[in-house]
Each structure stands twice: as C-alpha cells, then as structure tokens.
C-alpha cells in the first residue's frame, strides 16, 4: 500500500529515526508516560477518550512505546507493521478518534521526547521525528477513514455513539453478568463478525469524565440484539475496583440507556477454514469464544470443535449450561473445563492450569485453527504451549483485553 510507506521522508531523516531506536528501547516508556501526563494537563477533555485505569497501571504508556519503537524500526517500510496499524486503528475507530486528535498527540509526543532526553534530543532529531510522526499519523488517518466509511455504509451502520437500551440483564456466574442491548430508535443495526467488540460510553454521575470500555459480543451474530457479558472487577489488595464494570453490575438495570459504538475489531473467526477449531478461554475471555462457538455450529455444522474453559471454580464458570447444551446437540463439539481451585463436590476435567502435557493430550492435531483469550498470564502460557506443540504462528489467534501486550516473550 502506498499509504504505508514513508514516501515523504528523505533518506537522512529515515537514518536519524533509525538511529534513535536504541534510545527508544531504553527510554520509550518514560517518554510515553511523560507524553500522557503533558497531554492530559493541556487537554483534560481527552480523558473522556483514554482509559484512565490503563494509564494508572502503566499499560497504555508501554503499549504506545512499543508502537513508536516498531514505527522507528520499520520507518523504511511502514507497510510491514500494517497488521499492528489495523489493530490499533480498529480500536481508534471504536473510540471515535478523529484526524483532529493527531496534531495534539504529535505536539505532546515531541515535547516528551525533548523533555525526557534533554540535550540528547537535538534539533535535528526533533525535526526528524516531527516529519516521521506526520507520515505515521497519515497512515493511521487514512486507514481509519476507510474504516469509518465502511461502518457508515453498512446496513444500519453509524459513526460516533448510538443509544441502546438494556432489554435484559442476566447473571451468568458470581462475577459475570450479560446485558442484552437493542437500539432505542428501533431501527436496523449492523451485524458483526464473531470475535468483535463494541465500545460502551459510561456516563457515571460520580465521575468527572466519561469512561469508554470495549466488550466482546458474546453470542453469534444474527439476533435482534447485541449481547455483552461483563466481569465485575472487584478491588484486589490496594487496587481499586473496576469503575465501569461496577457501574454496569450495580447501577445499570433493564431499561437503562447505554451509548455504544458500532462493532469493530480484527480478532475474528475465519469461517472459510474447515480444519479443527480449538477455542481456549480463561475467565471472562470466554466472551469472544462463545460467539465463535455458536457461529460455528450454525454455519459449519460438520467442523470439529474443541472448547476449553479455565476458571477459578464452578461459581466463576459462566455459560456452562449453554456449552453443555451445545455439546449434547452437536457430536462434533467437545468441551473441557479446568478449575484452578474447585469447591468441594465440583467436577472438572482438570484441576489446576491448562498446562502443556494436559493440553496436548486432548488435542487431535497441531494442524488446526487456534483461538484463545483471557488474562495476560494465561495468554502467555497458552502461546508458549502452542508454539512448543509445533503450531504454526499463522494458526495462532488471540485477543488481549486492554492495551496490546507482547505475550510472545
């Protein structure tokens, strides 16, 4: 794609950018942390867009640092990071990031580079990064423009937020509750691909700013509603409870109105693949897996499916009855449960964790399509298991809740 090459940069500028890679490797997170501090001070209204929980945890600065580093390393051929660009652009579209936001980001990023590096950030380096940022921003703006148009042009599609009513609220486990959503205007709304998510704009009276959170759609497309299934994030140790999940569980009831963005995301089921489908989820990571499972039994009824759900115990295991129903009605589907600490009298297929020995003992082959989702530690373990099992990287698909993290290390 011509839009993904740094065509507007001269060779000297590219060389300067590449020369800063070691500095970014060492100071990247410090730079991006300073960037967010400065930007929010100058533009507090942007706190309505950015996840402040991820800011406090340090996840967002790390994610941005990795993106900046990747862009610097591939400044000669930005098309090589197009998959990363598209993944981030999907989130930007869902969060309604617009072209006018990019100059604000650029100004504050350059300030942060200079502020953190001091005299080492010469005028030549700052000028080079100003040019490079312009090129990188144009890549994102171009990709996102196409995404906005695609959403707008889809049947019932919309840009920005649209009010949906909670028509049903259903408890799935001790910590997970499902919310069924229909548009207030009662007009048509777009379908989605299994694995995609929507963004909820939580307007909470006790909060100064809005909070945006992305939740996977937890059912096969084609229903007269969207369904999300949300885990209540309780306070752990010194960590605070989840602002939005607590709001949804405790304040949102049937009849409540929630503004949402149109479905998005690039973690989607390949419905052209007929090989065995392996779905592995930890905790609330089951939400996109359930959408993929229910879709598969509808559109690929003869496809072999193995569904693995890991949970702390039975009372934390959501949608168990639905999965049992699917298995009983579809001979090609097998399901397994793994409980970390099962309660007395609870049965499961394995106690503890989804480890290599057990996982490979139930898998029919490594020539299959593997999808997994869950907490980051769980994700790292499953990626390692699959690679050790000899699964091709192109057959490994995953979604991480929150900012992208490198689970391959």
Q: What is the pLDDT of residues 21-46, one digit of tens each?
A: 999 999 999 999 999 999 999 999 99
Place 238 in a pLDDT band, splitting at 50, 70 and 90.
Answer: low
Which value, to the nearest 10 degrees, does the dihedral of the CA atoms of residues 230, 231, 237, 243 take?
10
Query: Is the same domain home to 122 and 12?
Result: yes
Q: Which residue has the tokens 């490594």?
A: 366
Residues 135 and 78: beta-carbon distance below 8 Å: yes
d(CA 108, CA 21) in angstroms, rounded, equals 19
Does the annotation list 74 as a binding residue? Answer: no
In a domain, 321, yes or no: yes
d(CA 212, CA 202) in angstroms, rounded, equals 6
Asked if residue 196 has pLDDT above 80, the reply is yes
In a domain, 271, yes or no: no
Query: Is the same domain home to 327 and 366?
Result: yes
Query: Is the same domain home to 17 and 136?
Result: yes
Phi, psi of 69 (to 5 degrees): -65, -45
DSSP category for residue 15: H
Place 78 in a pLDDT band, splitting at 50, 70 and 90.
Answer: confident
Does the annotation list 284 as a binding residue? Answer: yes
Interval 82-134: pLDDT, tens: 888 898 899 999 999 999 999 999 999 999 999 999 999 999 999 999 999 99
Place 237 in a pLDDT band, splitting at 50, 70 and 90.
Answer: low
Place 56 in a pLDDT band, splitting at 50, 70 and 90.
Answer: confident
pLDDT of residue 4: 44
Does the annotation list 255 as a binding residue? Answer: no
Query: Is the same domain home to 244 and 101?
Result: no
Query: Is the same domain home to 149 and 79?
Result: yes
In a domain, 295, yes or no: yes
∠ CA 216-384-78, nearest 5°, is 65
Place 81 in a pLDDT band, splitting at 50, 70 and 90.
Answer: confident
Asked if residue 240 has pLDDT above 80, the reply is no
Interval 339-372: pLDDT, tens: 999 999 999 999 999 999 999 999 999 999 999 9
User: Bigger pLDDT: 401 or 1?
Assistant: 401
SS (H, E, C) 330-378: CCCEEEEEEECCCCCCCCCCEECCCCHHHHHHHCCCCCCEEEEECCHHH
Q: How many CA atoms lie within 13 A of 192 on its CB side?
A: 29
Query: Is the same domain home to 324 and 297?
Result: yes
Query: Is the same domain home to 166 and 145?
Result: no
Query: Is the same domain home to 147 and 114?
Result: yes
Residues 304 and 331: beta-carbon distance below 8 Å: no
SS (H, E, C) 52-76: HHHHHHCHHHHHHHHHHHHHHHCCC
Residues 166 and 258: beta-carbon distance below 8 Å: yes
User: Bigger pLDDT: 367 or 242?
Assistant: 367
Q: Note down the domain range covering 70.
A: 2-153
In a domain, 282, yes or no: yes
d(CA 18, CA 75) in angstroms, rounded, equals 7
Does the annotation list 246 as a binding residue? Answer: no
Q: Which residues pair with 259 in a beta bridge?
A: 163
Tell which of 122, 153, 184 closes a domain: 153
d(CA 73, CA 76) in angstroms, rounded, equals 8
d(CA 196, CA 292) in angstroms, rounded, equals 10
Query: Is the same domain home to 286 and 203?
Result: no
In a domain, 344, yes or no: yes
Residues 126 and 110: beta-carbon distance below 8 Å: yes
Here the CATH number for the domain that contains residue 354 is: 3.40.50.80
Asked if residue 158 has pLDDT above 80, the reply is yes
Asked if residue 263 has pLDDT above 80, the reply is yes
102 is catalytic: yes
DSSP category for residue 33: H
Here the CATH number for the domain that contains residue 49 is: 1.10.490.10
Q: Give the three-state DSSP class for 121.
A: coil
- End-to-end Cα spacing for the chain: 30
pLDDT more than 90, % of the chain: 83
Task: Give the CA distances from residue 184 to residues 256, 258, 300, in Å, rounded to whole numbers and listed in that order.
Answer: 10, 9, 33
Place 2 in a pLDDT band, splitting at 50, 70 and 90.
Answer: very low
Query: Is the same domain home to 229 and 360?
Result: no
Q: Is the pTM of this model over 0.95?
A: no
- Work out the number of other CB atoms within 10 angstroms of the CB of residue 207: 14
Q: Which listed residue (36, 90, 102, 233) is catalytic?
A: 102
Q: pLDDT averaged over the chain?
A: 92
Does the annotation list 285 as a binding residue? Answer: yes
Place 234 in a pLDDT band, splitting at 50, 70 and 90.
Answer: confident
d(CA 332, CA 316) in angstroms, rounded, equals 26
In a domain, 143, yes or no: yes
Q: Which listed residue (36, 90, 135, 144) is catalytic?
A: 144
In a domain, 200, yes or no: yes
Does the annotation list 286 as a binding residue? Answer: yes
pLDDT more than 70, % of the chain: 95
Tell which of 128, 153, 178 closes a domain: 153
pLDDT of residue 401: 55
Query: Is the same domain home to 380 and 312?
Result: yes
144 is catalytic: yes
Domains in the chain, number: 3
Does the annotation list 101 as a binding residue? Answer: no
pLDDT of residue 239: 61
Here the CATH number for the domain that contains residue 250 is: 2.40.30.10
Q: Which residue has the tokens 């533009």?
A: 43
Asked if residue 3 has pLDDT above 50, the reply is no
Tell which of 260, 295, 316 closes a domain: 260
Interval 244-257: pLDDT, tens: 999 999 999 999 99
In a domain, 210, yes or no: yes
Query: Is the same domain home to 180 and 204?
Result: yes
Q: Mean pLDDT, to the nearest integer, of 215-225?
A: 97
Rg (CA), the chain: 22
């Amino acid at each position: 794609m011509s839009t993904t090459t740094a065509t507007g940069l001269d060779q000297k500028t590219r060389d300067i950018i590449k020369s800063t890679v070691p500095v970014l490797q060492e100071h990247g997170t410090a730079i991006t942390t300073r960037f967010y501090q400065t930007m929010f001070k100058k533009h507090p209204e942007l706190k309505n867009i950015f996840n402040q929980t991820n800011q406090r945890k340090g996840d967002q600065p790390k994610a941005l640092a990795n993106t900046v580093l990747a862009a610097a390393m591939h400044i000669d051929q930005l098309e090589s990071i197009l998959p990363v660009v598209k993944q981030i652009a999907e989130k930007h579209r869902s969060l309604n990031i617009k072209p006018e936001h990019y100059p604000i980001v650029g100004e504050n990023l350059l300030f942060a580079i200079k502020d953190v590096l001091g005299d080492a950030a010469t005028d030549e380096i700052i000028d080079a990064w100003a040019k490079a940022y312009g090129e990188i921003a144009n890549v994102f703006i171009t990709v996102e423009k196409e995404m906005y148009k695609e959403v707008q042009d889809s049947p019932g599609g919309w840009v920005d937020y649209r009010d949906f009513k909670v028509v049903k609220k259903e408890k799935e486990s001790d910590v997970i509750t499902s919310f069924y959503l229909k548009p207030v205007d009662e007009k048509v709304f777009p379908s989605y691909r299994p694995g995609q998510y929507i963004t909820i704009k939580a307007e909470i009276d006790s909060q100064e700013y809005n909070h945006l959170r992305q939740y996977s759609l937890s059912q096969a497309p084609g229903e007269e509603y969207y369904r999300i299934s949300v885990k209540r994030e309780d306070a752990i140790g010194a960590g605070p409870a989840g602002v939005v999940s607590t709001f949804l569980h405790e304040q949102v009831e049937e009849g409540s109105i929630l503004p949402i963005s149109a479905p998005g995301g690039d973690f989607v089921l390949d419905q052209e693949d007929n090989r065995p489908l392996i779905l592995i989820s930890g905790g609330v990571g089951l939400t996109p897996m359930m959408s993929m499972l229910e879709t598969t039994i509808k559109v690929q009824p003869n496809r072999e499916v193995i569904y693995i759900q890991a949970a702390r115990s039975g009372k934390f295991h959501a949608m168990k009855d639905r999965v049992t129903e699917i298995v009983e009605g579809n001979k090609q589907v097998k399901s397994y449960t793994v409980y970390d600490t099962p309660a007395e009298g609870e049965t499961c297929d394995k106690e503890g964790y989804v480890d290599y020995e057990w996982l490979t003992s139930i898998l029919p082959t490594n020539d299959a399509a593997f999808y997994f989702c869950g907490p980051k530690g769980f994700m790292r373990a499953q990626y390692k298991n699959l690679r050790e099992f000899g699964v091709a990287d192109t057959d490994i698909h995953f979604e991480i809740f929150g900012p992208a993290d490198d689970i391959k290390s």
